[in-house]
Structure 1
Amino acid sequence: MEITPKKCVYTYEGEIDYDQDTDGSLPLIKIEDKSFSWKELGEYLMRYEGFKIKIEMIDE
């Protein structure tokens, strides 16, 4: 009998916005009513180092 490891999936929804601190040269990412600079988002994502990532861009 083969045992398949469980897959962890984390889903976050948000939007890309204008970052006044960088005069729009880098995005401001809004996720779950919190705003992250590009640097802050990178630091946050480091807790998932080694995970795969999937990014969807949706125009609603």
Structure 2
Amino acid sequence: MTRNNDLPAHLKASILGASLNIPVSDGRLNMGIWQGIYLCEHRNHGGNRTLVVTLQGDVY
């Protein structure tokens, strides 16, 4: 029987967080030159992931 211990993945996710807010202005990401978005997988054999995007704000 194989035991799957995800403790390191859970600890890293609790430190780094599981959500992200990104400002968008005029239909483009409003980020600085040196800023980026990175996906961190903390498991040795991660499965497929689904990205959920929620947009909210005003259109002028």
TM-score normalised by structure 1 residue count: 0.30
TM-score normalised by structure 2 residue count: 0.30
Larger relative contact order (CA 8 Å, sep ≥ 6): 2
Q: Which has the larger share of helix?
A: 1
Q: Which has the larger share of strand?
A: 1
